A and B are shown apart, each in its own frame.
Chain A
Amino acid sequence: MIDARPFEPKQIRRAYDRRSWLYGKLVAPFEFRNHRRAIDRAKIRPADKVLEVAVGPGRALLEIVKRIDRDNVALGVDAAPGMLAIARHTLAAVGYDNFDLREGDARRLDFDNDTFDVLYNAYMLDLIPFADMPGILAEFCRVLKPGGRLVLLNMSKKDDERVSWYERLYEKLPASFVLNVMGSCRPVLMGEFVEEAGFENVEREFLGGVIPSEIITAGAWCPD
């Protein structure tokens, strides 16, 4: 597994903000089946309090609000205002209003401790440096209720035995190409990070396809 290229969070935010429309049209359709599979694994119940971190163009959030009561509100965070505008349109266009969005940083969430039954986070940790992962996972654990479910979906690979051609390109291509075309994403295997953050019952499912991905599910029983 290789580490992320050293982009500042602000650079990533700007890159995704500028390309939010293009991302929604070109990349999101390839991610959708994986989102559906991952959200199924979240086993969302109608009354569950659900948070999605990194909502992007909102296709996963739509699947989440379909699964909860109409008077229950799902919350969504993204760092890019352009993505949030598209997400709001995506959900409103099919008649859903039981969601609330905010511009925020996964490292510093604006929710109280023990708030959510389910936290869904897709295609975000695959652009985060290893050094930042423990802090983000601790923040996820903080806002989850004890026993709450964490579901992660990320670009991944079947196993970590060898460096793939994609990873070689990711490491060698110019920074601007990696940031703006590859979206700064590289394959990650999150299981050990999640276990080290104190989550329990960590399970992994690998999905092949256009964007090889992994689903990690885990229970939040984290130290205070």
Chain B
Amino acid sequence: MDKKLLEILVCPLCKGPLHYDKDASELICNADRLAFPIRDDIPVMLEEEARRIGDETPV
């Protein structure tokens, strides 16, 4: 993911910073403990599609 782009991205819920996990292909919000998937190079920034960190099931 482009560094410049990552700088302007925030969590859609809390508007806090996101961390890019390249290996898992996810954008992670540590505050909300949510991992937003990147599918086919398109980030899916919807709460209902996010994975709760530490949980196997989608939110």
Contact = CB atoms under 8 A, between A and B. Distances in A.
A109 interface: yes
Given A104-B12, A105-B12, A110 B45 contact: yes
- Chain B binding surface SS class: mixed
A102 B36 CA distance: 11
A103 interface: yes
A160 interface: no
Contacts of A110: 9-12, 18, 36, 43, 45
Interface string B1-25: 0101101111111010010000000
A108 B8 contact: no
Contact of A105 (B7, B8, B10, B46): B46
A73 B42 contact: no
Interface of A: 10, 73, 77, 79, 81, 84-85, 88, 100-105, 108-113, 115
Interface residues of B, number: 23
Contact of A73 (B5, B7, B36): B5
Given A110-B10, A110-B12, A103 B45 contact: yes
B42 A112 contact: no
Nearest to B27: A110
Given A103-B44, A104-B45, A112 B10 contact: yes
Contact of A108 (B7, B12, B39, B49): B12
Interface of B: 2, 4-5, 7-13, 15, 18, 36, 39-40, 42-49
Nearest to A116: B8
Instruction: Tell me whether chain A's interface is mostly helix, strand or loop, or mixed.
Output: mixed
26 contacts: A10-B48, A77-B45, A81-B42, A81-B44, A85-B40, A88-B42, A100-B5, A102-B43, A102-B45, A103-B42, A103-B46, A103-B49, A104-B46, A105-B46, A108-B13, A108-B47, A110-B9, A110-B10, A110-B36, A110-B43, A111-B8, A111-B10, A112-B7, A112-B9, A112-B15, A113-B15
Nearest to B38: A102
B44 to A, nearest CB: 4
A77 B2 CA distance: 17
